[in-house]
Structure 1
């Protein structure tokens, strides 16, 4: 496996501007401390809300942190999560990845960790998925549709299905948010490290117990420059009609 610097599609001169946005949407972790206007943040959330919603339930909520005192209280939690993440993944590049590029990524993660209290905006997407509604007739149809082992399969896959169902209702909106940030000249990156201490994060932000969090997205004006992303070529990842 190799990672190449490639354009993810046509640029603005030969295709939709969205392709240029996607192909230069790096994870930007070095942020200026300058505030981001509330109306700009609202545009990011609007982009997220435009994302698809399973069953059109729209059961998402977004916690937006801009208060520096709140951010300072979150900073120690962020540090603990990042340190745990780096300890489990290691500081050496995985096979097939350029060591220098990986080192730069780790350095950016550490920079963000050490300057987290200065983050202008933190967005935490949340979702409260409704409980499944099965009656006797529904269970019968379920079992008939999936075969004799249908109910056993349901029990075996219920937890994974629930997690993926919730995620599929949240992450398309998060991607919209990231694209909107890039289009507006803002730096952002999606992380899930907070899940290592999710209960502490929920308590710090007053998030209800029955609501799950799915990401912590720092946003701000970039200290660095946007540029082409490094991704595997399409020819290496496509399996046509069969694996």
Structure 2
């Protein structure tokens, strides 16, 4: 056996604790109104900051709302966003999803909507790319490397590419934050429904117009219990070597 080969006895005796955390990290929308200590919220942001960032630019910012007066100001915006979601995209259960399970999820969404003003904490991850510095010679090499067809295609999807590039700098940190919340016994869930009324949210929170927001994450102590998530089995989603 070479030094790079492993025998079955080399396998860990049990899954790392992180696996148990991930496998029980449900979207918890029913929150108690009890406040979350600032030091715990700071730990969530620290976990997010540990996430990777494109080019290690670290241009993320996090708005953390705990003031009940501000939360009360956001509550009507949240209601409008949730109502818009439930009337369109969220009106029917996705194909293949159990109707009863979907009804339970909608009930939790409605509970969160109706009690949003009591949310102990809300975290808004933000990111803003710097203006790119691209010279004519760089554009020439870019087009030469991709070829004419791919260069033209990239021109058509540039907005999507830019949005995904920013998202890739934010969402790994958000996942760290959610994992940290679960590890600390806090309930949290990621939503992007605030984007329906992003300008209004920015106005309430004083977020600069040129700063992009990527999620609204309510955080608090759970009313219910964590439990195993229900997901598609690995063998259904993996395509090895080719589709």
TM-score above 0.5: yes
Aligned counterparts of 2:199 and 2:50: Cα–Cα separation in 1:
28
Q: What are the equivalent positions in structure 2 for 1:171-190 lying under 5 Å apart?
A: 171-190=171-190
Aligned counterparts of 2:88 and 2:128: Cα–Cα separation in 1:
29
- In structure 1, what is the equivalent of residue 5 of structure 2? none
Deviation at 1:13, TM superposition (A): 7.7
Unaligned runs of 5+ in 2: 1-11
Deviation at 1:178, TM superposition (A): 0.1
C-alpha contact 2:128 2:211 (8 A) present in aligned 1 = yes
C-alpha contact 1:178 1:189 (8 A) present in aligned 2 = yes
Aligned counterparts of 2:186 and 2:146: Cα–Cα separation in 1:
47
Larger CA Rg, structure 1 vs 2? 2
- In structure 1, what is the equivalent of residue 100 of structure 2? 100
- In structure 1, what is the equivalent of residue 127 of structure 2? 127
Deviation at 1:90, TM superposition (A): 4.3
C-alpha contact 1:144 1:150 (8 A) present in aligned 2 = no
CA RMSD of aligned residues (A): 1.2
Matched residue SS, 1:196: helix
C-alpha contact 1:142 1:150 (8 A) present in aligned 2 = no
Matched residue SS, 2:170: helix
- In structure 1, what is the equivalent of residue 242 of structure 2? 242
Query: Could you give the per-residue CA deviations for residues 115-156 of structure 1, whole angstroms, max 9, x where no partner exists?
Result: 000000000000011122211110010011001234423321
Matched residue SS, 2:155: helix
The answer to whether the aligner puts 1:157 opposite 2:157 as a matched pair is yes
Aligned counterparts of 1:213 and 1:100: Cα–Cα separation in 2:
33
Query: Normalising by the residue count of structure 1, what TM-score does the alignment of the two structures yield?
Result: 0.93
Query: Normalising by the residue count of structure 2, what TM-score does the alignment of the two structures yield?
Result: 0.93
Query: Could you give the per-residue CA deviations for residues 2-40 of structure 1, whole angstroms, max 9, x where no partner exists?
Result: xxxxxxxxxx98210000000000000000000000000
C-alpha contact 2:85 2:91 (8 A) present in aligned 1 = no
The answer to whether the aligner puts 1:192 opposite 2:228 as a matched pair is no
* Off by >3 Å, runs of 4+ in structure 1: none
Length, aligned pairs only: 232
- In structure 1, what is the equivalent of residue 7 of structure 2? none
Query: Could you give the per-residue CA deviations for residues 89-127 of structure 1, whole angstroms, max 9, x where no partner exists?
Result: 244322211111100000000000000000000000000
Aligned counterparts of 1:170 and 1:136: Cα–Cα separation in 2:
30
Matched residue SS, 1:58: coil
Q: What are the equivalent positions in structure 2 for 1:1-243 lying under 5 Å apart?
A: 14-243=14-243
